[in-house]
Structure 1
Amino acid sequence: MKRLLIPLAAAGLTAAALAAPAAAAPSWVTDPLAPKPADAYSTAKFWLNANGAALRKATQYHWDSKDVTKLVKVSADQPDDGKPGIVAPTGAAKTGGKVKNVNLPRTLGKVFFVDRKGEYRWCSATSIQSRHRNLVATAGHCVYEHGRDVFAKWVFVPGYYQGKAPFGVFSGAYAFTAYDLDTYDDYDGDFAFVAVHNGFSLTGSREVPKGEFTDWAGDKWVEHEEIKEDEYKTGFEKYGAAGPYWSKDFDVTPEKVGHDYKGEKTLTKVEVTEKEYGDAAPSTTANVNGEQYEKVGPTPISKEKYQELTKLKADGKFPGKLHAEVSNGAEIAWYESHYYIKQWVKSGKTVRYFRDHYIIGMAKDAGKLGDAVGGQGIAWNQPTGQPVFVFGYPADPHPDGDKPYTGVTPKYCYGKTGTKTYQVNSFRVETHQALKCSLTGGSDGGPWLLKYNNSKRLGYVNGVTSLFHDQDGNDRVDMISSAYFDGETADVYNKAQYAETKAVVGPKGEILQ
């Protein structure tokens, strides 16, 4: 994927404002996720379809037990990278859940994505304050796969719980991370900031006349209802061949005839191949959208159904079109399309009758992320050894197989970070900050909050969970670590907060361009 080192159009910046000295190594990179509202809508709907089935199917980003490492080589001093800095949080929460008298941040949630194997995954994350109130902070490895390309279908769901998105789903538009993570898979830069579009939720659907259906700019589909012969005849007499009433002759080889055929005949909707449809349908869009010719799809289907239909197509038993969406060399979504032509045929032994229903999908704009749930502050170049709250959704078992967490509800750790920084050679880590904590995988990407105000549910993000460690060798996670937030982190954040994003759906639920 081509790197957009300085996304001037997206961020609304001038080249002069961001130009670095010619000899200076870059400290940040950015990649597009779904910059266009139509793509953002498709991404969010992928997760929201079937009452959040894909959300419930997702599993935590998985760390193998061999990846539970040991922190080594304590550094003599904390990094000295300039003056400390902070950006204040915004949007104090009035209500929310509690865990052992600690109020959970309203900003906390999960990010969902599809990896190169086609697996549905999630990590922890938080909304963070920014210029455009549209920024998410999480671990870099929850956005960039092994320091290479970004994951597919990336969304943030604040307040996620068992397939529910109470504040809406926010599709990622642009991802920002440290240059060293992206280039060298160096976990000293294992953090990322993602600018997200306005969130939205699906609010149902309604049936509309064909004209309104054709003009609708949002989500839409056709549902086929099987009806009795007398209802078909009444409807067909009223609306004619251009109406929503049709029949299908289930004779294996129906013989096509003209409209002037005097024998027993049926006006049926014949399913044909894409080529036959293209050859028969008029070339003008207006006529193709008419009732004589109809294309249904592409419609999302499961991987299992896709594989089943592929076999039928190979045997000549499925005339429709199958399509798999591919990202980073892996299939991540599957679709089917059907093509129909209305045709008079000699009546066979079995005729079934149908009525089409034209359905439009409704959606509601949830506004900017920061307006919906607020945003944590951010702090960098802070002294180590300070108290922090760490929040996340742990789900992995410990290396010994014990599984105390489900990933369903958020958990937290509290304590002082180590006064020194640490190294982990296998992840090219030289300056991680560490905390005694038994949270396991799934909580990676969760925020480390300094000066957390329990009543306001706000603090300052000073790290995000990156790695899990077993210091005493008993096959249980007992420490976690995060990149130390320094001046380079602030540089990445400052670039990210200039990225402008858009509303995805309009006031009527239509998809915006």
Structure 2
Amino acid sequence: MKRLLIPLAAAGLSAAALAVPAGAAPQWVTDDLVPKPADAYGAAAFWLDANGAALRKAAQYHWDAKDVTKVVATQSKDVPDGKPGMTAPTGAPKASKSGNVNLPKTIGKVFFLDSKGRYNWCSATAIQSRHRNLVATAGHCVYENGKDVFQKWVFVPGYYQGKAPWGVYVGAYAFTAYDLDVYDDYDGDYAFVAVHNGFSLVGQKEVGKGEFAEWAGDKWVKNEEIKKDEYDAGFAKYGSAGPYWSKDFDATPEKVGHDYSGEKILTKVEVTKADYEAAPKATADNKNGEQYEQSGPTPISQEAYKKLAAEKADGKFLGWLDVQKDKNGTETAWYETHYYVKQWVKAGKTVRYFRDHYYIGVAKDTGRLGDVVGGQGFAWNQPRGQKVTVFGYPADRHPDGDKPYSGVTPKWCSGVTANKAYQVNTFRVEEHQVLKCSMTGGADGGPWLMRYDNGKRTGYVNGVTSMFHDQDGNDRVDYISSAYFDGETAAVYDKASYAETKKIVGPNGELLQ
């Protein structure tokens, strides 16, 4: 970028090693996404739950028609801020084909929630790094308005219609240009995200109540209605500590004491958290008012949280509501918990009997991103006028309303970038590289691969799609642009390549802390 005054030196993975003079402006910023494995599990499970329902609900990051601008060539070629450099890719064969271009296994979608709770996605690629855990995408696909990071950020390589064939990789740490983060300067519209090991949900297992309570991963309870004789036998064997319970559906059941000699039923009555904590601990005598069980905390949507909060304010909801916030105070997750105490009642005419079945979700570690799908190379300070192949998942409409892309499958463009730098004043752009291409929004964040080898399906990331342009004024996208990858980009990449991440689940599918 135009501000950098620092020379490059090759080191490590042949990425840039930069010595920052005293008083020099920083080149990069880094922000936490979901660094803790336990929280990362929750973020991935949010997208994977209900067979990928949230993934299918997400829409492409949307560019309004008014943002599809023209680019203006500068008067002369810009000068790179140092020597050109490249980091070699690591490949992964057995990818699909699209026309006469083999699609790389490294590409996929990133999914995230914005500050309004909307489900969005962009395009991205795995890129080579020291720990084989790095994703390259557009900065605006990680940072909202160049400031705070998006929530529940995950990368799904090979994504297709709610499926994650190689697992879900949760973002741990994000790295971007200082100028994007501070000034919303799109000359730095790129980001590198270090992700945790991937995992997938591979099944479920029914367990006992004790193992269920101790399980730190995904879990849920299913209720089965049973006959009275099965209930009697089960309750006689396990008591209130077991999975057997009943409910009297009489409108006004008569409450009795635990020592009542007639036919009676032990029921559970919901109370507030404060009343539950003040209640006596459960005993074998099963006296009225003793603690029965706590159900939750259970993850819910932001919309459900707001609805229940309104009901709680009106006294119509007894449960406990909780919200998780990041370091900036932004809400990231919402939960409800219910509390019950014991109550004996006379058996009525509409008694129903139930058994709880306790299930845990079994997860499988899919390994480091680069070991699973490979990683594209990285190039910086390359001459303009390079032949590149660009991949992405376009889905947005053209400004004229035409919608030729679905966003379901990746598309590609291939050509030679312009040999001059281009400006877009409304986004503080002075140095973008441009390519003739008609892909629309949703493709943003997709890689610009220089020297793409169609057989190996690898190349060198020399840009990521940032913006979409209508040069001939016919209300259709005909050019796309990317930040020019220079020495400052190499500095950000180099910093990101050192970020270490962790496994999320253990060998038995358990959640690691």
Fold match by TM threshold 0.5: yes
Distance, in Å, in 2 between the alignment partners of 1:356 and 1:373 is 41
Distance, in Å, in 2 between the alignment partners of 1:369 and 1:415 is 29
Aligned equivalent of 2:460: 460
4+ residue runs of structure 1 moved beyond 6 angstroms? Answer: 327-330
Distance, in Å, in 2 between the alignment partners of 1:76 and 1:333 is 50
Distance, in Å, in 2 between the alignment partners of 1:101 and 1:301 is 45
Q: Deviations over 1:401-436 (max 9, x none)?
A: 000001001000000000001010000001000000
Aligned equivalent of 1:189: 188
Distance, in Å, in 1 between the alignment partners of 2:203 and 2:96 is 28
SS of residue in 2 equivalent to 1:147 = coil
1:41-440 to 2 correspondences below 5 Å: 41-93=41-93, 95-282=94-281, 293-303=292-302, 305-306=304-305, 308-310=307-309, 312-325=311-324, 333-440=333-440
* Residue identity in the other structure for 1:378: F
* Residue identity in the other structure for 1:144: Y
Does structure 1 conserve the Cα–Cα contact (< 8 Å) formed by 2:250 and 2:350? Answer: yes
Does structure 2 conserve the Cα–Cα contact (< 8 Å) formed by 1:248 and 1:270? Answer: no
Q: CA deviation at 1:460?
A: 0.1
Distance, in Å, in 1 between the alignment partners of 2:367 and 2:453 is 25
Q: CA deviation at 1:275?
A: 1.6
SS of residue in 2 equivalent to 1:236 = helix
Distance, in Å, in 2 between the alignment partners of 1:372 and 1:23 is 41
Q: CA deviation at 1:450?
A: 0.3
* Residue identity in the other structure for 1:213: F
Structure 1 range deviating more: 317-326 or 339-348: 317-326
* Residue identity in the other structure for 1:420: K
**Distance change (3 Å), C-alpha of 1:283 and 1:499:** farther
Return the TM-score normalized by structure 1: 0.91
SS of residue in 2 equivalent to 1:492 = helix
* Residue identity in the other structure for 1:163: G
Q: CA deviation at 1:272?
A: 1.7
Q: Deviations over 1:132-186 (max 9, x none)?
A: 0000000000000001110000000000000000000000000000000000000
Q: CA deviation at 1:255?
A: 4.7
Distance, in Å, in 2 between the alignment partners of 1:210 and 1:479 is 59
* Residue identity in the other structure for 2:34: A
Distance, in Å, in 2 between the alignment partners of 1:423 and 1:320 is 55
SS of residue in 2 equivalent to 1:277 = helix
Distance, in Å, in 2 between the alignment partners of 1:308 and 1:218 is 26
Aligned equivalent of 2:12: none
**Distance change (3 Å), C-alpha of 1:66 and 1:89:** same
Aligned equivalent of 1:14: none
Q: CA deviation at 1:210?
A: 2.4
Q: CA deviation at 1:234?
A: 1.7
**Distance change (3 Å), C-alpha of 1:344 and 1:364:** same
Distance, in Å, in 1 between the alignment partners of 2:110 and 2:69 is 24
Distance, in Å, in 2 between the alignment partners of 1:49 and 1:281 is 36
**Distance change (3 Å), C-alpha of 1:19 and 1:448:** closer
Distance, in Å, in 1 between the alignment partners of 2:280 and 2:512 is 29
Q: Deviations over 1:323-344 (max 9, x none)?
A: 4556677766543222122322
Does structure 1 conserve the Cα–Cα contact (< 8 Å) formed by 2:279 and 2:291? Answer: no
Structure 1 range deviating more: 326-335 or 79-88: 326-335
Q: CA deviation at 1:253?
A: 5.0
- Counting matched residue pairs gives 491
Structure 1 range deviating more: 185-194 or 208-217: 208-217
Gaps of 5+ in 2: 1-16
**Distance change (3 Å), C-alpha of 1:383 and 1:398:** same
Distance, in Å, in 1 between the alignment partners of 2:440 and 2:186 is 18
Aligned equivalent of 2:3: none
Distance, in Å, in 1 between the alignment partners of 2:112 and 2:181 is 18
Distance, in Å, in 1 between the alignment partners of 2:479 and 2:394 is 13
Structure 1 range deviating more: 306-315 or 334-343: 306-315
Aligned equivalent of 2:487: 487
Does structure 2 conserve the Cα–Cα contact (< 8 Å) formed by 1:128 and 1:377? Answer: yes
Q: CA deviation at 1:307?
A: 5.0
Distance, in Å, in 2 between the alignment partners of 1:141 and 1:445 is 8
Distance, in Å, in 1 between the alignment partners of 2:85 and 2:174 is 22
Distance, in Å, in 2 between the alignment partners of 1:224 and 1:381 is 62
Q: Deviations over 1:66-88 (max 9, x none)?
A: 00011014240133211000000
Q: CA deviation at 1:292?
A: 5.2
Distance, in Å, in 2 between the alignment partners of 1:112 and 1:72 is 32
**Distance change (3 Å), C-alpha of 1:319 and 1:348:** farther
SS of residue in 2 equivalent to 1:259 = coil
Distance, in Å, in 1 between the alignment partners of 2:155 and 2:368 is 12
Q: CA deviation at 1:218?
A: 2.6
Distance, in Å, in 2 between the alignment partners of 1:506 and 1:240 is 34
Q: CA deviation at 1:254?
A: 4.3
Does structure 2 conserve the Cα–Cα contact (< 8 Å) formed by 1:116 and 1:329? Answer: no
Does structure 1 conserve the Cα–Cα contact (< 8 Å) formed by 2:128 and 2:375? Answer: yes
SS of residue in 1 equivalent to 2:148 = coil
Structure 1 range deviating more: 265-274 or 113-122: 265-274
Q: CA deviation at 1:231?
A: 1.5
Distance, in Å, in 2 between the alignment partners of 1:148 and 1:281 is 49
Q: CA deviation at 1:128?
A: 0.1
Distance, in Å, in 2 between the alignment partners of 1:105 and 1:279 is 59
1:8-27 to 2 correspondences below 5 Å: 20-27=20-27
Distance, in Å, in 2 between the alignment partners of 1:477 and 1:497 is 34
**Distance change (3 Å), C-alpha of 1:269 and 1:378:** same
Aligned equivalent of 1:449: 449
Distance, in Å, in 1 between the alignment partners of 2:241 and 2:132 is 49
Does structure 1 conserve the Cα–Cα contact (< 8 Å) formed by 2:18 and 2:491? Answer: no
Identity %: 75
**Distance change (3 Å), C-alpha of 1:266 and 1:437:** same
Does structure 2 conserve the Cα–Cα contact (< 8 Å) formed by 1:79 and 1:431? Answer: no
1:490-509 to 2 correspondences below 5 Å: 490-509=490-509
SS of residue in 2 equivalent to 1:183 = helix
Structure 1 range deviating more: 475-484 or 300-309: 300-309
**Distance change (3 Å), C-alpha of 1:251 and 1:18:** farther
Distance, in Å, in 1 between the alignment partners of 2:182 and 2:95 is 40
